[in-house]
Amino acid sequence: MTLCVNFKDVTCSLFKNNNANSCNISDYYHLQTMGDQTKIFKRRKYMSKTNIAVVLCGSGYKDGSEIRESVATLWALSQNPVEFQCFAPDVTQADVINCLTGQPTPNEKRNLLVEAARIARGKIKPLSQLDPAHFQAIILPGGFGVAKNLCTFAKEGSNGSVLPDLQKHLETFYLSKKPIGAICIAPAAVALAFKGKGFSLTVGQTCEASQEIEKLGHKHVVCKANEYHLDTNHHIVTTPAYMYDDAPLHEIFTGIQKLVNEVCDLT
């Protein structure tokens, strides 16, 4: 089978012959084939490596990073011609919630970095070691732990603040005009980090969280779980994910994949 892809002045032919693939392509473009799907990406300037930072904060949707959202983010990144590195704060998490009963376990203490290493399969670094100069974008998966550990939005709403390390990194990415991706409740942390900047963000439907975000001087955009929103003026990409608590898993993955693809395209 011969598949021809025309992209501006570039024509590429992919020839499939049993297990053999061959293609003739311009040096300016990258072709990636996964099964029967072929994606064409514009190559980065000077063929420099594109690195994406992913910030986690524990493991679990009630007190840390939402596991499905985190996995979806890494899964989607793996389908793009980029490298990625996970980071998490090396501190004790705000609380520990039994996800079976939904009740807190006040005598139990957990470390955000150690717990997030479960998701990252050990390939994770302390947030303090994140150097924005080495990364072209940053993505924050959701989970209620974001509102508890990466910022104080859960307790203080629009009066809250962002973890100093994360605040510093987000400001650096923003000032460098590098894209910021935020999933589920993570846009609230972005909103807190940039009070009064007038971003357009989504946390899904109009709700208490969206109202608090608007109090911070931003605009909330209603968006479905399988969609995403791009603030073109500020390079901020957001998707609701499990802000729709009963959304089908495939819709969560679809929305996150769209966000990740947009973030990668913006680098």
List active site positions: 184
Mapped to the 3 state alphabet, what secondary structure does 197-233 carry?
CCCEECCCCCCHHHHHHHHCCCEECCCCCCCCEEECC
For residue 63, CA distances in Å to 13, 97, 104, 175 come to 49, 6, 9, 30
- Enumerate residues 6+ apart whose C-beta is below 8 A from 110: 58, 63, 92, 93, 96
Of the candidates 50, 52, 66, 223, the residue with the CA atom closest to the CA atom of residue 141: 66
**Alpha-carbon span 67 to 60, nearest angstrom:** 6
Strands 137-140 and 51-55: parallel
Instruction: Could you list the beta-strand ranges (E) of 35-78.
Output: 37-42, 51-55
